[in-house]
Amino acid sequence: MESPRSVRGTSRRVVLVDMDDTLFDHSLTCRAAIAELRRERAFLRRQPLEQLWREYLRQLESTWATLSPTRAAIDEARRERWRRLALSCGATPSEGEVAALSRTYRRHYQRLRRPVPGTRALLAGLHRRAPVVIVTNNERAEQEEKVRFLGIGEHIDGLVVSETVGVGKPDARIFQAALRAVGARPHEATMLGDSWANDVVGARRARIRPVWFNRFGVPPPGRGTVAELRSLRPSGPAMRLLLGDDGPAPRAPRSRRL
Ligand SMILES: [Mg+2]
């Protein structure tokens, strides 16, 4: 990572960007890891893969809003997800078995990880024109490892993680910490992220312009007009949208899709 560059004027934007399921393909890595675990544990085959996967992601999303971002709380949340998934399959594993499930899942997850297509090219293009800061909920060590895995360290100016800040998205304070890291003000920034609840709502709370990364083309889950990106391919319109040269967000239609 380079040292932060200052923001000059108001036309030059700072790009804040989420990590999981925006740059790093958490969802499909998760699906592949659960599929692997399901091949090894017969009781998990009582539920379809799709159902286990969606339930895992649902629990993950619902936990982050209330989770204390400490190592112990994160480890317990990981075990709790497997406790519940096992129960949903009609199994009641011991605490030792729950811990083993959680550990084995993590091992598969690490082995099967992958970037969201376009990640490096997009960040390289953005970073030539503006400071780029990753804003993410998780443990710092894990997110630093993802930066290394993705090979994007040279294209970012900062990595702001909930474990370090003490609060996670959608709390406005984590976005404010990211702005401070590059000496920027809210109106100079764009926040790109896949989570409506964390990235879109959180950015709005911090008075930052959100761009929703809607990779799977689902309907907007919340109210309000928001600019929308469906691919990280660094096209001209995508770059203008993220760098804030694309004018104000439209009132209609409901969203812009690139
Ligand atoms: Mg995300």
Average pLDDT rounded to a whole number, residues 160-168? 94
Rounded to the nearest angstrom, the distance between the alpha carbon of 42 and the centre of ligand 1 is 31
* CATH architecture under which domain 14-25+115-257 falls: 3-Layer(aba) Sandwich (3.40)
Average pLDDT rounded to a whole number, residues 123-145? 94
CA distances, 73 to each of 77, 79, 80, 100, 167 (Å): 6, 10, 10, 17, 13
* pTM, rounded to two decimals: 0.79
pLDDT at 66 over 70: no
Rounded to the nearest angstrom, the distance between the alpha carbon of 214 and the centre of ligand 1 is 11
Rounded CA-CA distance 152/106 in Å is 23
Asked if 38 and 195 count as a contact pair (C-beta separation under 8 A), the reply is: no
User: In the chain, which residue ranges form alpha helices assigned H by DSSP?
Assistant: 26-40, 49-64, 71-88, 95-112, 119-127, 140-150, 162-165, 172-181, 201-205, 236-243
pLDDT at 120 over 70: yes
Domain boundaries for CATH 1.20.120 within the chain? 26-112
Rounded to the nearest angstrom, the distance between the alpha carbon of 36 and the centre of ligand 1 is 23
Residue 255: pLDDT band (50, 70, 90) is very low
Asked if 192 and 214 count as a contact pair (C-beta separation under 8 A), the reply is: no
Rounded to the nearest angstrom, the distance between the alpha carbon of 193 and the centre of ligand 1 is 6
Rounded to the nearest angstrom, the distance between the alpha carbon of 94 and the centre of ligand 1 is 32
Three-state SS letters, 16-52:
EECCECCCECHHHHHHHHHHHHHHHCHHHHHCCHHHH
Q: Which residue has the higher pLDDT, 212 or 139?
A: 212
Rounded CA-CA distance 145/127 in Å is 20
Rounded CA-CA distance 188/207 in Å is 10
pLDDT at 103 over 50: yes
Rounded CA-CA distance 128/46 in Å is 50
Rounded to the nearest angstrom, the distance between the alpha carbon of 257 and the centre of ligand 1 is 19
CA distances, 214 to each of 9, 88, 255 (Å): 30, 29, 11
Rounded to the nearest angstrom, the distance between the alpha carbon of 45 and the centre of ligand 1 is 28
Phi, psi angles (nearest 5°) of residue 203: -60, -45
Residue 31 neighbours by CB distance under 10 Å: 19
Average pLDDT, the chain: 88
Average pLDDT rounded to a whole number, residues 30-44? 96
CA distances, 40 to each of 37, 51, 156, 206 (Å): 5, 17, 39, 45
Rounded to the nearest angstrom, the distance between the alpha carbon of 20 and the centre of ligand 1 is 4
Residue 133 is predicted with a pLDDT of 98
pLDDT at 170 over 60: yes
Rounded to the nearest angstrom, the distance between the alpha carbon of 21 and the centre of ligand 1 is 5
Residue 94: pLDDT band (50, 70, 90) is very high
Average pLDDT rounded to a whole number, residues 43-51? 95
Residue 67: pLDDT band (50, 70, 90) is low
pLDDT at 168 over 90: yes
CATH class of 26-112: mainly alpha
Rounded to the nearest angstrom, the distance between the alpha carbon of 25 and the centre of ligand 1 is 9
Rounded CA-CA distance 21/30 in Å is 10
Domain boundaries for CATH 3.40.50.1000 within the chain? 14-25+115-257
Asked if 155 and 123 count as a contact pair (C-beta separation under 8 A), the reply is: yes
Rounded to the nearest angstrom, the distance between the alpha carbon of 204 and the centre of ligand 1 is 16
Average pLDDT rounded to a whole number, residues 170-195? 96
Rounded to the nearest angstrom, the distance between the alpha carbon of 137 and the centre of ligand 1 is 8
